[in-house]
Structure 1
């Protein structure tokens, strides 16, 4: 197929040099427009890096929540952590392992879907 580009499991992303921009560390969650991905390496402000859109990742979570297997998980961009609370947060995937309350991290299978 002559118009095929790539599987789309990872995308190149530029950490734009705009007001309040911060460096992204390897493993950090990133909301990029309507996409959510996990940085494959450190991405300084103004640099390009790669975000994984699918896979299972251990992410920082709201400590005071318990998660169940298969539960929908959302991203709180302001706090850079995952949550089971929908609200205005972006849907990023599902929990693939129960997580205790309290606990600092949880395992999430990214959905690779748009977070709109």
Structure 2
């Protein structure tokens, strides 16, 4: 097939801000990735866009398996706040309140009736 480009699990993308390794970044309103290395603003770097990652979360928040997770770009964490934030994944393991991280399957998920 001559129009296949790549598998899409890891993409080379140039963020509009510096992104530390292991931290997420939302490109536009629909493409979220986690930096695999420190990436400088405006310079292409590797971002994981599919799979399961351990990512920072709002510490004072309990998360259950199956909870939709939203990106808080200001604090660079995921949480369960649906208003004014983009869904970037779903929890695949519970995370206690307090705790620093959660296991998240990358991807945007819309609940039925949402």
* TM-score w.r.t. length of structure 1: 0.85
The runs of 5 or more residues in structure 1 that have no matched partner are none
Residue 35 of structure 2 aligns with which residue? 39
1:45, CA displacement in angstroms? 2.6
Q: Deviations over 1:50-109 (max 9, x none)?
A: 111011111111111101111111111111000012111111111011111111111111
Residue 87 of structure 1 aligns with which residue? 83
Residue 47 of structure 2 aligns with which residue? 51
1:8 maps to 2:3: no
Of residues 58, 61, 65, the one that matches 2:57 is: 61
Secondary structure at the residue paired with 1:37?
Answer: strand
1:26 maps to 2:21: yes
Which 10-residue stretch deviates more, 46-55 or 91-100? 46-55
Output the CA distance in 2 between the equivalents of 1:77 and 1:43: 16
Report 1:101-116 matches (<5 A): 101-111=97-107, 113=108
* TM-score w.r.t. length of structure 2: 0.87
Output the CA distance in 2 between the equivalents of 1:15 and 1:37: 10
